[in-house]
Amino acid sequence: MTPVLYSVCDVTVRYRDVTALDSLSLDVLEGERLALLGANGSGKSTLLRVLDGLIFPASGAVRFDGEELTEERLTDREFAFRFRRRVGLVFQNPDVQLFNPTVFDEIAFGPLQLRWPKEQIRQRVEETLDSMGIAHLRDRSPHQLSGGERKRVALASVAILDPAVLLLDEPAGALDPESQSQIIDQIHSWRGGRKTIITATHDLGSLEEIADRCVIFEKGRIIGQGTPMDILHDVPLLGRARLLSVQAHAHAGEVSTSHPHLHR
């Protein structure tokens, strides 16, 4: 039986008078690829930050590998080091986590903080640059890159540490089709259970490539879950979650009709 890695139990998170997560409960299995689906403001990004120990619930509990994840627990340097070594978050906006002068320095930053030997760092950076298809960017400033290139650099800066858990916030959001495909291909390459990958997205077009299970959010609550195929065929659920658009079409010789379309 696959062990539970994350256990979220009756968690509520509030930003002043706004409830971002509302008595939410969810288990994530070790090695699972999970997609968090929902419209903007549904609670997906908030949950990722809770799972990364960046914010903490007003009520309820979060356990990681059987141990409760609290602000106090993360003040313990040994626990914090082990947790941060195992869990990596890639933000929706890559500029939040890119601050070094070159792409090479950006990807080397994490290993330097962990005090890896310098030769090992150089070797791993070069391997990561090659595997992510960004070796030609090694000496460029991250802030001179395109949106897709910055996303890949941000992903590489986390992936080099080989975390057991990857938390991805809209990894292909606001990118051109070619850049989206490159990011999705990279996530797809991590399938097979070696990593637990939790992806927040409102894009339905790549679900089968990035997820084994999907959870649908609305106003901080879970309103449905299932396999990507189950979710893609549940049009009423997708409509409720505002993941469909209704468009009118006039076909030749017919009256204009409206029907739902997937956001891709």
What are 258's strand-pairing partners?
Answer: 248
Is residue 225 within 8 Å of residue 216, measured between CB atoms?
yes
Locate 65 and state its tokens.
Answer: 């590998």
Output the average pLDDT for the chain: 89
Give the CATH number of the domain where residue 121 resides: 3.40.50.300
pLDDT at 196 (0 to 100):
95
pLDDT at 206 (0 to 100):
86
DSSP SS3 for 88 = strand
Pick from 238, 221, 218, 220: nearest CA to 229: 238
pLDDT digits (tens, 9 = 90+) for 81-126: 999 999 999 998 888 889 999 999 999 999 998 889 999 999 999 9
- The total number of residues written for the chain in this structure: 264
Distance of CA 108 to the CA centre of its chain: 22
pLDDT-based confidence at residue 59 (cuts at 50, 70, 90): very high
- For 52-75, what is the mean pLDDT? 95
pLDDT at 254 (0 to 100):
56
Instruction: Quote the domain boundaries for residue 18.
Output: 4-262
pLDDT digits (tens, 9 = 90+) for 225-248: 999 999 999 999 999 999 986 444
pLDDT at 94 (0 to 100):
86
Longest distance between any two alpha carbons in the chain, whole Å: 71
Task: Using a cut of 0.85, tell me whether the model's pTM lies above it.
Answer: yes
List phi, psi (to 5°) of 228.
-55, -40
pLDDT at 245 (0 to 100):
64
pLDDT digits (tens, 9 = 90+) for 189-233: 877 768 999 999 988 888 988 999 999 999 999 999 999 999 999
Model confidence at 262: pLDDT above 60: no
Into how many domains does the chain fold? Answer: 1
Model confidence at 11: pLDDT above 80: yes
Mention every residue, 6+ apart, whose C-beta is less than 8 A from residue 82. Answer: none
pLDDT at 252 (0 to 100):
53
pLDDT digits (tens, 9 = 90+) for 128-172: 999 888 999 999 999 899 888 898 899 999 989 999 999 999 988
Query: What's the chain's Rg over C-alpha atoms?
Result: 20
